Chains A and B, each alone.
Chain A
């Protein structure tokens, strides 16, 4: 069992698992933090951005000044933003059989994989994941395509040149593999390869393994996956949440009895409690609006925004904000708000029951109805006519590099009355703000990440480790087989965050210690497969004559031919060596087994030393001496210069060239053993 790590981002994973002749890609996350190195794409011509000075080397060389611009001491690439793709060289991606998607944030690299690597397999994901994932991709393509940029910078990527650049450009990894955004056509083609699945649905892969999505509680349709064969179980936990928000709660019980747990997508801000952050978000929003300022919330078009709108729905009256307009601007705003309402079966219990009343599960429907929340595809068109200040604007993209948010940053950045509140944890807010400096606007960082924190992980691991005994291990029922759970996780989870080196509570704490991986690393998982299920054909089974060797345990020898096809193993009766004469009378099956005579009988049982010594004495060996050894006993026949070494699983008779004596002794030993 091997794991290939194609992404270094712990919450945007892309791993490939080789397990029992199948090659399974787990998620397809796209690391978009690379875009922070680029200049924002303004929707409206921005004199400030277009007049930024070009960057010159220390020696005054200006050959890069067309590609690199300087803003408040930071250097940015003036080009279409590019993304850092998952590793494509580590493994031949055309050999990937299936891709399992756990949530809509973890599928953003899908078009790069399915369209450009020779991938011919199937992608599995739940319906909300696909629909909302499509919205996210559509928004991304739209944001980038609607601001065409003539220039595509490539000079700076030259390794020799990159060395000369200031940080963070200097340290950016594998810039040569960075790619521009895909097209809508590629998105559609990629999504067409997805097969929809429901929670707890069992999907057979080539008869070798079965994969099953489970609710992970993080987002609409988000899943963890179980990959299991008859005797092995691998759980893939990615982006899970135990908090009560809008999605169905996490299914923890089905993760029990796992042999390997691949753990990704924990909270990116383990020190911030989401409830506290929501409080912070609301108070800062209220204080800004009261003073006549505007609030800008850079966000994704789906996910936390639903919860924030729900909080605000309850909050605006108490805070006296009933008359403040809320705007949600995204090319997919309308679809996102409506999709949320129709995926009832994927919602938490409370919201599901609302559907039967019938009421919309999310209160944002009421906000829209009462005109408190308005949504627009873009700042152009209706919005510009209806726009009133002070107001609250939700818009993308959280990186602040493209999308309508760029316009609002330029528009409101100069006034200290306004506030930008960062709620999405994916991007460092300081980096996101860098090309807008100097900035008068207030900045509040309230990252809301509902994914598991380390305390929740340790509880989860305890839960998962409480194992039931499996049937094949139940032979010694008094011995509880504690088979260890192997936890595999990104290396970031095995050491405290660099800024809080003393916080040893911010690591995964388990026994045996978690195995960690980093980008472009291959892990051989320490888990050995020990069992395989084999079917016995009925007529062969019928021929077996079990012999009880211990109460409740019977054995039989089998001679058969093993057929293996489609990962299924079948034992069939061996072909008869001599064709029997044609006879209509059916012979007894036992006569058909030809090779039995060739086999020596198998022995079982143990030799009680005292009785054995008595038997020896009865047979005329008078000088028997017994010595205890670490593994058993040695019986010494001093006169005959012979020793019999009796151990748990072997017995040796050592005598000097006296075959007669050896045979005699052997027969005495055999008296104590059962044959079959």
Chain B
């Protein structure tokens, strides 16, 4: 803790305990706690307590006060917890019995202030912070705090209740973790006292038959199994197994959602898992049955479906049906990545079920029963279910599907892509699912090109894509473009795809969308065209020079968007495309990289959007790396050139970079008022400096230079830049026309003079780092209550 803060602290503590003073802004207290936390983590907490007796006094004082403000009481509890987290401070505080008076049942629990949820929250957070060592756990067991935590699980404040339940998990985890060495059995006597108490409480709750208590216990277990995978948790599960098992056998099922959550958090014992999983599968089995899938195809559930509860929920109303199906699909989607853990993950029946749902939703399914009739009526045109089902269908592309089902998937996807009734959000999901299936199809095909089935799909797909690109709804145009971009990214090199794409009007339509009235669509069109052009799938070559053709080259078209588009999104997209082109060595760009980069940066330097400027710097960096080579450290096996040739090459490169006005751009960026821009520029310059480290001129040609090495700031740079500009303007016109406003020497002077490392440090700090300092916080707190000296004069 710095001296200034130590000086201010006693006054602050005095303010806090003074009932006449009122700290109106309780965020101050939060900030103060954050600061103490960092302080106690950075230095010895005991030392802090000893050097600042006002802190201990504060704790004592608050304990004694009868009508203490509940915010202050809560703060004190948390503060005590923060210090008590360190064993030596804990002991120090224990000596004065301050902890006992704060956390035992004799403490705030018996006071009226306990009614305030903020006090209970403070208590529980204090206890939470404390549980970092055995002594604290022992203390909590002894003083009855564990029972308080149990009771707080049912607290009317949800925050308190949930923290209490998490705290139990934390305490249990901590106790068991510290007893790791001892092998454990399900026998009670093996468990540490505190763990025994908690586990006993959980068992009792599970047996209680009341929903809130069961839910609390299940929540504790869910959090525990989700967080902790040590071996003792298996033993714990063995203890819990009969209790949870008997819950599942109860009719009606109590706390069903919490049970599902518990099973999702752990996928262990086979029998329970199967039961839990079956609950998830029931709605889908019901759907399958309603559409009467041909017998012989494997069903989702072996036993015939006779759960009328599920059927009743499904059919009771549109919203409950949609709700249940969406929830089921979302859970299954979460489980799918774990499907390899499940021995009998019913991939094929699930696929059939989700396809049946999609058919119901689009009016294609033929109902086979009265349940089906009702489902049909409920699900037709239900966007919510359509979206969830398409999401899950996409997820199911990861898995072995028989080819006749794949044919069905393709059909249903085409129906959704084609249907004029698909809402924009549904269509977006349909595109996403289609992409996943297409990619998974190409994965399974052995040949390098697309399989006939995929080719066939593409033939149907492109006319649809064409139509969607002409949609009057911008969201549709946008998602069609995104789909095109993704597909091209993955398949741009495959002959079958190229052929299908080029024989359609899709590239031309995408190009037209560069002039779309909606900025998001323009941005997506830019990205799509960039991708098409990279893969040589664009009708227009991007040649950098303007041609006599009526049609502008794609490069010029994008450059125009970059310089004239009023919205940021398309401009950001353009600069990203340009960077990508440069990075991957787009053939047309490679022909004249310098001109390409010069033109782009010229436009970017005037852009008002900082993201565009940052991306412009990225482009500059890519170019620099391509010109000067990687960082030495990054490429240890690079062939070393002789220092003379290296030096000559560097000089030439520098000359060229100056000629391109690249440094103009980078230096101005260093003075940019947007911090990310300046940071990026600083990083580039540091790279350059490292690159040029061995260059003679950078090492300094004389004493004068060495003195100024790395001490100047950006203000100096701004003045220098202005000076250069003035110099350029004063030069005869033919020189100015040459465009090399800077000489390599000027650049080297900047690199030499500016304290780039220091600058990087400053820029890395957030702009409000001064306002965030603890000293400022303490001063603010005193200022608000009028204690600070400079305000005293105002009293007159």
Contacts and interface: CB of A to CB of B under 8 A. Distances in A.
Contact of B471 (A272, A273, A283, A320): A283
Interface in A144-169: none
Interface stretch (B342-350, B416-424, B720-728): B416-424
Given A287-B505, A317-B517, A320-B515, A505 B380 contact: yes
Interface stretch (B54-62, B87-95, B229-237, B462-470): B462-470
Contacts of B420: 272-273, 276-277, 279-280, 446
Interface in B505-560: 505, 508-509, 512, 515-518, 521
Interface in B425-480: 466-468, 470-474, 476-477
Given A290-B505, A502-B376, A503-B376, A283 B421 contact: no
B356 to A, nearest CB: 14
B245 interface: no
Interface string B475-511: 0110000000000000000000000000001001100
A431 to B, nearest CB: 22
Interface string A242-284: 0000000000000000000000000000011100111110111
Contacts of A511: none
Contact of B476 (A279, A446, A504): A279
A663 B517 CA distance: 99
Contacts of A291: 505
A315 interface: yes
A569 B562 CA distance: 83
Given A273-B420, A282-B471, A311-B472, A502 B377 contact: no
Interface string A271-311: 11100111110111011001100000000000000000001
Interface in A298-350: 311, 314-315, 317-320
A503 B363 contact: yes
B570 interface: no
Contacts of B505: 287, 290-291
Contacts of B521: 318
Nearest to A285: B470
Contacts of B363: 271, 500, 503
Interface string A472-485: 00000000000000
B566 to A, nearest CB: 15
Contacts of A446: 420
A279 B472 contact: yes
Given A276-B420, A276-B421, A500-B363, A287 B472 contact: no
| Interface size class, chain B | 20 to 34
Where chain B touches its partner, the secondary structure class is loop
Interface centre among B367, B373, B421, B509 (most CB of A within 10 A): B421
Interface string A395-435: 00000000000000000000000000000000000000000
B468 A283 contact: yes
Given A282-B472, A319-B470, A273 B366 contact: no
Nearest to A276: B420
B598 to A, nearest CB: 32
A502 B472 contact: no
A557 B314 CA distance: 60
A501 to B, nearest CB: 9
Contacts of B472: 278-279, 282-283, 311, 314-315, 318-319
Given A272-B420, A320-B512, A502-B373, A279 B471 contact: yes
A283 B470 contact: yes
Nearest to B365: A502
Nearest to B476: A279
Contacts of B509: 290
Contacts of A314: 472
Nearest to A312: B472
B322 to A, nearest CB: 14
Nearest to A453: B381
Interface in B147-175: none
A276, A278, A279: which has the most chain B beta carbons within 10 Å? Answer: A279
Most buried by A among B422, B467, B476: B467
B517 A318 contact: yes
For chain A, the bracket of interface size reads: 20 to 34
A273 B421 contact: yes
A423 to B, nearest CB: 12
Given A315-B472, A446-B420, A283 B517 contact: no
A16 to B, nearest CB: 34
A502 B419 CA distance: 20
A279 B377 CA distance: 25
A504 B377 CA distance: 7
Contacts of A283: 467-468, 470-472
A505 B376 contact: yes
A446 B471 CA distance: 14
A504 B370 CA distance: 10
Given A272-B420, A504-B373, A318 B467 contact: no
A290 B512 CA distance: 11
A612 to B, nearest CB: 53
A447 B518 CA distance: 28
A277 to B, nearest CB: 6
B421 A318 contact: no
Contacts of A273: 381, 420-421
Most central of B381, B420, B421, B508 by chain A CB within 10 Å: B420
Nearest to B362: A271
A277 B422 CA distance: 11
A319 B420 CA distance: 18
A286 B470 contact: yes
Contact of A287 (B419, B466, B474): B466
A282 B470 contact: yes
Contacts of A503: 363, 376, 380
Contacts of A284: 467, 470
Nearest to A504: B373
Given A311-B472, A315-B472, A317-B517, A502 B467 contact: no
Nearest to A455: B381
Contacts of B515: 320
Interface string A492-503: 000000001011
Contacts of A505: 376-377, 380
Given A282-B470, A282-B471, A319-B470, A502 B517 contact: no
B409 to A, nearest CB: 23
B521 to A, nearest CB: 8
B321 to A, nearest CB: 13
A290 B421 CA distance: 24
A505 to B, nearest CB: 4
Interface in A61-87: none
A510 to B, nearest CB: 14
A279 to B, nearest CB: 5
Nearest to B368: A502
Interface string B376-390: 110011000000000
Contacts of B517: 317-318
Nearest to A321: B470
Contacts of B366: 502
A39 to B, nearest CB: 33
A502 B421 contact: no
Interface in A488-526: 500, 502-505
A52 B225 CA distance: 82
Contacts of B376: 502-505
Nearest to B419: A276
Contacts of A502: 366-367, 373, 376
Q: Which 5 A-B pairs have the closest CB atoms?
A: A276-B420, A283-B470, A505-B377, A286-B470, A280-B420
6 contacts: A283-B470, A287-B505, A291-B505, A311-B472, A502-B373, A505-B377
Interface of B: 363, 366-367, 373, 376-377, 380-381, 419-422, 466-468, 470-474, 476-477, 505, 508-509, 512, 515-518, 521
Given A318-B474, A318-B477, A319-B512, 10 more contacts: A272-B421, A277-B420, A279-B420, A280-B420, A314-B472, A446-B420, A502-B366, A503-B380, A504-B377, A505-B376
